[in-house]
Copies of this chain bind each other. A is one copy, B any other.
Amino acid sequence: MKLFKPFNLDSFLGEAYILGASKVTATDSDYIHIIETNDGITWAPNPQPYSCVVASPKKESKLKGLKSFIAYQLTPSLNNIQVSRRYKHFDWLHERLVEKFCIIPIPPLPDKQISGRYEEQFIERRRLQLQSFVSRVSNHPILSRSDVWLHFLTCTDAKRWKSGKRKAEKDEVIGAAIFSVVQVPEKALDPLQLDSQTEAFGRFVQSFDTAVRTMQSNFAEQVKRQQGPYKRDYQRIGQSFRTLSTAMELLETAPLTRALAHTADTYDQIALLCEDQPRLDFEPMGDLLHDYRGLLASFPDIITVHKGALQKRRELERSATEGKTESNVVIRAQQRTDVVSYTLLAEMSYFHQERVRDYNAAAKIFLQEQIAYYQKIVDHLQSTLSQYKDV
């Protein structure tokens, strides 16, 4: 899992930004807007929302077949022009996003996997995981509009691709510098209220993270159980009926021996259902949990950044009452810490909205697939039962 790059609070944020010493040159597209609505403080929505489909992973090769790799085809609804991207391109992009948006948890990429990279099922699952990453970035009001992301999503020309990469790697509006381009409402925030709000959020993040880990390990265990012991158990029930049918067939092929053989086949089919089923219920939920582990792993650092800003502000306020700091310095520092707080509040609000949507949808899909699974077992058994005649 891609973890959040630690953000050096003291040397950079504390000194440079809060004290107003950091200077960056920003273009219009760099600016980030935070607004207050009936739902509270949120990111300004993307005026041109779009989606992107990740499709048909293809095995490609270069250097005359010496190197082979999987390329995924991305088609954004922005322009409907397909681009081909490899895992290493995603990896490069992810690094840029983490570097640039220290205040936003970047959705994690799927785990790297070396062995069995070209197996069909693995490739399809990775496609789904990349689709999830791409959808999360495309849906995010800020990430979806960033230059580096749009470059990744739309560039089809090899030359422009290279120059765009170089430009992104030289981007100065990264790390704490991002705060310089954040536009927030005029209203000053209440530091006491903020303290209790962010503290509650910190506690929530911690127990949510524990819950996600618990569920992730339980669900991964369940996948193994179904593909191993459960499958074998169903096969063993099938084997019982088959042995019985074979023994009875020594005497005659009667309706009973045929029905018993049919029952054996049915349990073998159920064993295969059971083995395949996790692909439809436990694994998709596992992918969501993987995303959330990545997202949640970023928050402690973000909360620390925010705490550090508030602490610096308090130091300056104390220093001002002692006459050691000028009041206009304090006022500017207060405005700047409010920017930090506004970004945290906006991202908290976005995170909650996504969390409810994601878990609601995931639980529904999980239950629907579980229902379909048990229903299939019922149907198989029903049709087997009808093989037994009245004797």
In the complex, which residues of chain B have a beta carbon less than 8 angstroms from the beta carbon of A219?
237, 240
A354-368 vs B, Cβ < 8 Å mask (1 yes, 0 no): 011101110110011
Partner of A248, one of B208, B225, B384: B208
A222 at interface, CB cutoff 8 A: yes
Query: In whole angstroms, what is the CA distance A244 to B389 when docked?
Result: 49
Check if B385 sits within 8 Å of A368, measured CB to CB.
yes
Interface centre among A211, A214, A377, A388 (most CB of B within 10 A): A211
Check if B250 sits within 8 Å of A207, measured CB to CB.
yes
Q: A244-B359, A359-B256, A363-B260 are in contact. Are A236 and B221 (CB under 8 A)?
A: yes
User: How many copies of this chain does one complex carry?
Assistant: 2
In the complex, which residues of chain B have a beta carbon less than 8 angstroms from the beta carbon of A247?
204, 207-208, 210-211
Check if B371 sits within 8 Å of A388, measured CB to CB.
no
A198-241 vs B, Cβ < 8 Å mask (1 yes, 0 no): 00100110011011101100110110010001000100110111
A254 at interface, CB cutoff 8 A: yes
Interface centre among A207, A214, A381 (most CB of B within 10 A): A381
**Within the complex, what minimum Cβ distance (angstroms) separates A301 from chain B?**
20
Interface size range on A against B: 35 or more
In the complex, which residues of chain B have a beta carbon less than 8 angstroms from the beta carbon of A260?
359, 363
**Within the complex, what minimum Cβ distance (angstroms) separates A198 from chain B?**
13
Check if A256 sits within 8 Å of B377, measured CB to CB.
no
**Within the complex, what minimum Cβ distance (angstroms) separates A255 from chain B?**
8
Check if A214 sits within 8 Å of B233, measured CB to CB.
no
A298 at interface, CB cutoff 8 A: no
Check if A211 sits within 8 Å of B244, measured CB to CB.
yes
Check if A374 sits within 8 Å of B381, measured CB to CB.
yes
Q: A221-B236, A244-B359 are in contact. Are A364 and B388 (CB under 8 A)?
A: yes
**Within the complex, what minimum Cβ distance (angstroms) separates A39 from chain B?**
13
A139 at interface, CB cutoff 8 A: no
A166 at interface, CB cutoff 8 A: no
Question: Which residue of chain B lies nearest to A352 when distances are taken between CB atoms in the complex?
Answer: B251
In the complex, which residues of chain B have a beta carbon less than 8 angstroms from the beta carbon of A200?
250-251
Check if A367 sits within 8 Å of B218, measured CB to CB.
no
A129 at interface, CB cutoff 8 A: no
**Within the complex, what minimum Cβ distance (angstroms) separates A363 from chain B?**
6
Query: In whole angstroms, what is the CA distance A247 to B243 when docked?
Result: 50
Query: In whole angstroms, what is the CA distance A263 to B388 when docked?
Result: 36
Check if B233 sits within 8 Å of A222, measured CB to CB.
yes
In the complex, which residues of chain B have a beta carbon less than 8 angstroms from the beta carbon of A371?
378, 381-382, 385
In the complex, which residues of chain B have a beta carbon less than 8 angstroms from the beta carbon of A263?
363, 367
Check if B207 sits within 8 Å of A246, measured CB to CB.
yes
In the complex, which residues of chain B have a beta carbon less than 8 angstroms from the beta carbon of A53?
none
Which A residues between 17 and 67 are near B, CB-CB below 8 angstroms?
A: none
Which A residues between 251 and 299 are near B, CB-CB below 8 angstroms?
A: 251, 254, 256, 259-260, 263
Query: In whole angstroms, what is the CA distance A40 to B29 when docked?
Result: 96
Interface centre among A243, A246, A254, A382 (most CB of B within 10 A): A243
Check if A215 sits within 8 Å of B244, measured CB to CB.
yes
Q: Which residues of A contact B (CB under 8 A)?
A: 200, 203-204, 207-208, 210-212, 214-215, 218-219, 221-222, 225, 229, 233, 236-237, 239-241, 243-244, 246-248, 250-251, 254, 256, 259-260, 263, 352, 355-357, 359-361, 363-364, 367-368, 370-371, 374-375, 377-378, 381-382, 384-385, 388-389, 391
